[in-house]
């Protein structure tokens, strides 16, 4: 489900060189499109976190897939910058599927493997961003091969992710359930989620993780958006080759985010939640260093090596973050998942302003982001995620449970 949502969410990204030419887009307009492509997800993730608490992840996912497929199908009708921008904003709502994924896996798996489960589900979902970078240029080329113009081909290509979303909506409705015990309407839990304990927002650890997730996932969706254009403009690659290398970045999710989740579970077993915090700080600092190396790369080969470096630590940081999130609040898991998840899109939105600026090159933007990520890594390092003890008491459905 999350894979297909990511595929549809970023299906347009590898086609942007053609779309830019077709619509005569300026750098500032492309920057606005990048910002729009992640902005709608901010609100969507907050709302969907609440809907997961009320409806359950199954119904929430199906409704999002069906509604989200509409702008994916219809974006091909856009004729100018304004209409394309609005469709891109509407498509960005699909990114709220991440909250459903993390909420659902948190319900289905035991505490000692939540980090691994969340990271595998999230990583294979994010993998959609890599696959779409590789596949959509091939779909585009195939349509051109049938005799359609490039301006027509990118529009018809978006029918594929729309159909995939509808197909998965049926599969999710037919073959999943909200919890191991049954769907929300069948178990007492559904009745306990009718109100929100807003006091959870006073937990400063939530906001630190929100900032951290903005640095890792925010950078991931930014790179998914800008990678093809960067490789085309800086290293003069074709759209297909640029899409391939951008896809390699996304393919790191095959193992990297899962590796971060597993490492978080190991750190938690040895040093409690503070060990997970130290691991997250290290991943962010290494991600920032890799971004600085990528920005200074003078050749395609060096850029690829640097990209693989920061991609590894970035995606591991994603996994580590959501190895911590499920333990911050069990009563309002959807809300907390939504807040931290929205932080990733806020980061992506803010980074988009750097790539929009006429006064900064893409290389400048990557450099500034790298330094910011390292600074946030330092903040996480000095954050005490378990200030009172290594073993923190949490509450699960009115029953206190001690978790390491």
Q: Say what the pLDDT of residue 248 is.
A: 92
**Is the pLDDT assigned to residue 334 strictly greater than 80?**
no
Q: Say what the pLDDT of residue 399 is.
A: 37
CA-angle at 295, arms to 293 and 300, nearest 5°: 85
CB contact set of 45 (below 8 Å; sequence gap of 6+): 95, 96, 98, 99, 338, 341, 342, 345
Q: Say what the pLDDT of residue 117 is.
A: 85
Q: Say what the pLDDT of residue 192 is.
A: 52
Partners of 402 in the beta sheet? 393
Q: Say what the pLDDT of residue 395 is.
A: 39
Q: What is the mean pLDDT of residues 233-243?
A: 91
**Is the pLDDT assigned to residue 11 strictly greater than 90?**
yes
pLDDT range class, residue 187, cuts 50, 70, 90: confident
pLDDT range class, residue 400, cuts 50, 70, 90: very low
**Cβ atoms 263, 119 nearer than 8 A:** no
pLDDT range class, residue 273, cuts 50, 70, 90: confident
The model's pTM is 0.79
388 phi, psi to nearest 5 deg: -95, -35
Q: What is the mean pLDDT of residues 182-207?
A: 72
Q: Say what the pLDDT of residue 397 is.
A: 40
- Alpha carbons 229 and 293: distance in angstroms, whole number: 19
Query: Which of 40-54, 132-146, 250-264 bottoms out in mean pLDDT, i.e. has the lowest?
Result: 40-54
Query: Can you tell me whether residue 402 is helix, strand or coil?
Result: strand
Report the relative pairing of strands 392-396 and 399-403 from DSSP bridges: antiparallel
Query: Can you tell me whether residue 357 is helix, strand or coil?
Result: coil
pLDDT range class, residue 323, cuts 50, 70, 90: confident
pLDDT range class, residue 194, cuts 50, 70, 90: low
**Is the pLDDT assigned to residue 2 strictly greater than 90?**
yes
pLDDT range class, residue 197, cuts 50, 70, 90: low
Q: Say what the pLDDT of residue 209 is.
A: 94
Pick the more confident residue, 222 or 334.
222
Q: How many helices (H) and strands (E) does the chain have?
A: 16, 2
pLDDT range class, residue 199, cuts 50, 70, 90: confident
List pLDDT tens digits, range 68-95. Answer: 999 999 999 999 999 999 999 999 999 9
Q: Say what the pLDDT of residue 377 is.
A: 96
Direct distance between the N- and C-terminal alpha carbons of the chain, in angstroms, rounded to an integer: 31
The tokens for 103 are 């909420």
Q: Say what the pLDDT of residue 189 is.
A: 57
Nearest to 321 by CA among 219, 181, 396, 199: 219
Partners of 179 in the beta sheet? 182
Nearest to 6 by CA among 127, 137, 138: 127
**Is the pLDDT assigned to residue 325 strictly greater than 90?**
no
Q: What is the mean pLDDT of residues 194-222?
A: 84
**Is the pLDDT assigned to residue 293 strictly greater than 60?**
yes
Q: What percent of the chain has pLDDT over 70?
A: 92
**Is the pLDDT assigned to residue 387 strictly greater than 70?**
no
**Is the pLDDT assigned to residue 290 strictly greater than 50?**
yes
């Amino acid at each position: 489900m999350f894979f297909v949502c990511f595929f549809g969410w970023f299906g347009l990204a590898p086609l942007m060189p053609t779309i830019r030419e077709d619509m005569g887009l300026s750098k500032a307009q492309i920057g606005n499109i990048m910002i729009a492509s992640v902005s709608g997800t901010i609100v969507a993730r907050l709302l969907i976190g609440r809907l997961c608490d009320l409806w359950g992840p199954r119904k929430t996912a199906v409704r999002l897939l069906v509604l989200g497929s509409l702008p994916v199908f219809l974006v091909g009708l856009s004729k100018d910058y304004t209409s394309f921008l609005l469709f891109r904003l509407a498509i960005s709502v699909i990114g709220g599927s991440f909250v459903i994924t993390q909420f659902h896996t948190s319900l289905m798996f035991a505490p000692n493997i939540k980090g691994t489960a969340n990271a595998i589900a999230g990583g294979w979902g994010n993998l959609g961003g890599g696959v779409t970078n590789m596949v959509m240029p091939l779909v585009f080329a195939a349509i051109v091969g049938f005799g359609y113009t490039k301006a027509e081909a990118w529009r018809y290509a978006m029918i594929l992710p729309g159909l995939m979303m509808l197909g998965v909506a049926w599969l999710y409705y037919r073959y999943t359930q909200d919890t191991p015990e049954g769907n929300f309407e069948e178990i007492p839990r559904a009745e306990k989620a009718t109100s929100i304990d807003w006091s959870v927002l006073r937990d400063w650890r939530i906001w630190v993780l929100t900032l951290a997730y903005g640095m890792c996932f925010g950078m991931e969706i930014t790179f998914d958006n800008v990678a093809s254009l960067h490789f085309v403009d800086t290293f003069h690659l074709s759209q297909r080759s640029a899409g391939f290398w951008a896809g390699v970045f996304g393919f790191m999710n095959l193992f990297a985010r899962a590796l971060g989740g597993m490492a978080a579970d190991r750190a938690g077993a040895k040093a409690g939640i503070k060990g997970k915090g130290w691991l997250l700080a290290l991943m962010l600092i290494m991600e920032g260093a890799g971004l600085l190396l990528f920005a200074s790369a003078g050749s395609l080969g060096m850029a690829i090596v640097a990209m693989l470096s920061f991609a590894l630590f970035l995606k591991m940081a994603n996994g580590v973050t959501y190895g911590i999130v499920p333990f911050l609040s069990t009563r309002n898991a959807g809300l907390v998942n939504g807040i931290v998840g929205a932080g990733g899109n806020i980061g992506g939105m803010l980074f988009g302003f750097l790539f929009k600026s006429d006064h900064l090159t893409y290389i400048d933007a990557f450099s500034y982001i790298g330094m910011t990520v390292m600074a946030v890594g330092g903040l996480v390092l000095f954050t005490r995620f378990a200030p009172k003890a290594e073993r923190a008491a949490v509450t699960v459905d009115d029953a206190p449970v001690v978790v390491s």
